[in-house]
Amino acid sequence: MKIVYHCYGGAHASPTAAAIHLGILSNNRLPSWNDFKKIPYFDCITNKDHGKLIFIGKDERGNEVYILGRRNSVQLVIHIIQEFLKLSGADYSQYYFVDCVQLYNPLMVTGGFSSRAMGWVKLGRPLVTLGTIFSFPILVAKVRETIQYTIGK
């Protein structure tokens, strides 16, 4: 199975969820500031990366884990991916899309916009990191739910 964690920009919530899923981050404690340096693509995705499935790694069951920045076009982007998979003969039912947008908080939005859209990384990255720490328990719950769902697939 291919698991795709997706969010607006693909730079914060979805990379964090993928890192939890792959064991890069512990799901038993809040991450430290330094732990965020271990997350592939955290606060690095740019507009040119939106719409791309970015491979992060394989979990212990062999599932491939991806991230996706898809702006406000969640249904459109996922539908296009599914249609392309059908046209190419791939089994689109092997893709599981996990929406991480509902996990945002004001610090994530403000920090993410400051860092990614405005280029104010020194201001935005600490804000979005703190916001992600606040959302971390919700991200852990979302990842656990995803893992439980995919075990039977």
- State the pLDDT at residue 72: 87
Calculate what percentage of the chain has a pLDDT beyond 90. Answer: 81
Residue 133 has pLDDT above 90, yes or no: yes
**Is residue 119 situated within a structural domain?**
no
- State the pLDDT at residue 151: 86
Number of H helices, E strands in the chain: 4, 4
**Is residue 112 situated within a structural domain?**
no
Q: How many domains, the chain?
A: 1
For the whole model, what pTM was predicted? 0.93
Mean residue pLDDT of the chain comes to 93
Residue 1 in tokens = 């199975």
**Is residue 62 situated within a structural domain?**
yes
- State the pLDDT at residue 70: 92
- State the pLDDT at residue 28: 94
pLDDT category of residue 153 using cuts at 50, 70 and 90? low
**Is residue 23 situated within a structural domain?**
yes
Burial class of residue 105 (count of CB atoms within 10 Å of its CB; 0-12, 13-18, 19+) = middle
Domain of 35 in residue numbering reads as 2-102+136-151
First to last CA, the chain: 8
**Is residue 38 situated within a structural domain?**
yes
Q: How far apart are CA 89 and CA 44, in angstroms?
A: 33
**Is residue 118 situated within a structural domain?**
no
**Is residue 124 situated within a structural domain?**
no
Residue 24 in tokens = 């890069």
pLDDT single digits (tens) 43-95: 999 989 999 999 999 999 999 999 999 988 888 999 999 999 999 999 888 99
**Is residue 55 situated within a structural domain?**
yes
Least confident of 8-22, 50-64, 101-115: 101-115
- State the pLDDT at residue 92: 86
CB 69 within 8 A of CB 8: yes
